[in-house]
Amino acid sequence: MSGKRWSFKITPIRIAMFAIFAVTLVMYLYRYYVGLGAVTDLNDAYPWGAWIGADMNVIALAGAGFSMAIISHIFHAHKYEPLARRCLLMSFIGYVLVLLILIIEIGRWDNFWRPFVSPNLHSPMFEVYMCIVAYLVLQVIELVEVVTEKVAPKVQQKMQSIMPIVFIAACTVPLGHQASLGALYLAMPAKLDAIWASQMMPWLFVFSSFFIGPCVAIVEYIWTSARYKMKVDTDMLYSLSRISAVLMAIYFVAKCADIVVRGQVGNVFAFNMTGNMFLLEMLLLTVVPIVIHLTPFGKTKGGLLTFGISGMAGLVLTRLNVVFTGMAAHLGGGYFPSFLEIFTTVGGFCFAFLVYLYVTENFPFFYGVAGDAEGKPVGESAESGFNQAIM
């Protein structure tokens, strides 16, 4: 693949994403010029709005990077290693997007260096910040090792001696900030609805981000296979979904036990907004995927895709419930994202998706899986061609 030139196929959907991102850049400049108050619906009661919801969800879904690395590298399930490489890329792009959102939404990007010289060692936010920075550095090293396969094979060979250490560190560091995101809300138990205000939140945040990793990998693999007309190895995906389903069952039991111990069963089944949203969260995150896995439908491509999408939707809802639903009663529910907040958030995701498409079309991320050009990178003897773009 070394002789292949850099390329990026232009399609109508990609043009639309470029246009949305271009407008978003202009809106970012306008936001810096007039201030957050003039262009968002944030207020003193709701200083954490759409941006914190986006950050919480991106970090949670980006946990696919460390969870798939643990499964494939630490537990030596080598058949999943090609999926781990794809999740590494998605995770890195996700974390970069999180930092960009923080820089834009907090408004004081020029203070990014202060935690390094004036650390607050007792703050969960300090741990989140430092863990994210450390994790990004480790991910850069991992990605450099992938990139050098195409541009500098000799460098790639020399890096092999340090990669086991990098893998172990990259599998450990995310545990800190995933847990700390849940710990943030332990500082405001009187403001968060009692259904979610649990001392187990840090552990539940880590655990849920871990077992959703296979869901992200499954959805990405099926979508990529359709995009490049590759075969789908349903047996491999089914065995991966089994790992996730077992952990979902453990999470379900732990969550139910926590609700019972804290005396929140009545609130859960009060059939009001908070109770219904909690039940929907549990349904999508655990019940639906587990039921799918236990039926013959779970062994089909459609069933696996539904399994992954349901789990991802459930995880998104768990974070949004903590950020919005669980805080609405205390804060009066007086916030809904402005059009500018929604549009710029969409623009940020368009940028992340375009980066993902460019990188995967120019570097060896899709190989080693059954049906992927007999183990060769897509584009190298692949009938469909590496730059066949349907999006």
Q: What is the pLDDT along the chain (391 residues), one digit of tens a residue?
A: 444 567 788 889 999 999 999 999 999 888 888 888 788 888 777 777 888 888 899 999 999 999 998 998 888 888 898 888 889 899 999 999 988 887 777 767 778 888 888 888 887 778 888 888 899 999 999 888 877 877 788 888 888 888 888 888 888 888 888 888 888 888 887 888 999 999 999 999 999 999 999 999 999 999 988 877 788 889 999 999 999 999 999 999 999 999 999 999 999 999 999 999 999 999 999 999 999 999 999 999 999 999 999 999 999 999 999 988 988 887 776 788 889 889 988 999 999 999 998 888 887 777 544 444 444 444 443 433 333 333 4
Which of 72, 313, 295 is CA-nearest to residue 170? Answer: 72
Number of domains in the chain: 1
Closest CA to 331 of 193, 198, 201: 193
pLDDT (0 to 100) of residue 368: 46
- What Å distances lie between residue 59 and 49, 135, 169, 260, 284, CA to CA? 16, 12, 18, 29, 19
Q: Is residue 317 part of a domain?
A: yes
Q: What are the structure tokens assigned to 160, written together?
A: 């092999």
Residue the block writes with tokens 């991802």? 312
**Chain CA centroid to CA 182, Å:** 15
Neighbour-count burial for 159-171, b at 16+ CB within 10 Å, e otherwise? beeeeeebbeebb
| Separation of alpha carbons 20 and 187, rounded Å | 37
* pLDDT score for 373: 41
CATH, residue 288: 1.20.120
Cα–Cα distance between 182 and 189 in angstroms, integer?
12
Phi then psi dihedrals of residue 161, to 5 deg: -70, -30
**pLDDT value, residue 229:** 79
pLDDT at position 321 is: 94
* pLDDT given at position 248: 97
Is there a domain that residue 2 lies in?
Answer: no
Amino acid identity of residue 168, one-letter, is: I
Q: Which amino acid is at 189?
A: P
Q: Which domain holds residue 292?
A: 189-331
Tell me, yes or no, whether 149 lies in a domain: no
In terms of Cα–Cα distance, which of 161, 190, 143 is closest to 329? 190
Pairwise CA distance, residues 186 & 331, whole Å: 17
Half-sphere exposure of residue 240: CA atoms within 13 angstroms, side-chain side: 34
In angstroms, the first-to-last Cα distance of the chain is 23
Residue 115 domain-assigned (yes or no): no
Strands (E), 14-159: none
Per-residue confidence (pLDDT) for residue 1, from 0 to 100: 41
In a domain, 197, yes or no: yes
- Give the 3-state secondary structure of residue 371: coil
Count CA atoms within 13 Å of residue 375 on its CB side: 1
Q: Residue 198 in contact with residue 258, Cβ under 8 Å?
A: yes
Distance CA 185, CA 202 (A): 9
Question: Considering the domain boundaries, does residue 288 fall inside one?
Answer: yes
Let me know if residue 183 belongs to a domain.
Answer: no
Across the chain, which distance is largest between two alpha carbons, in Å? 65
Tell which residue, 48, 77, 132, has the closest CA to residue 320: 48
270 in a structural domain: yes
* C-alpha span between 285 and 313 (Å, rounded): 7
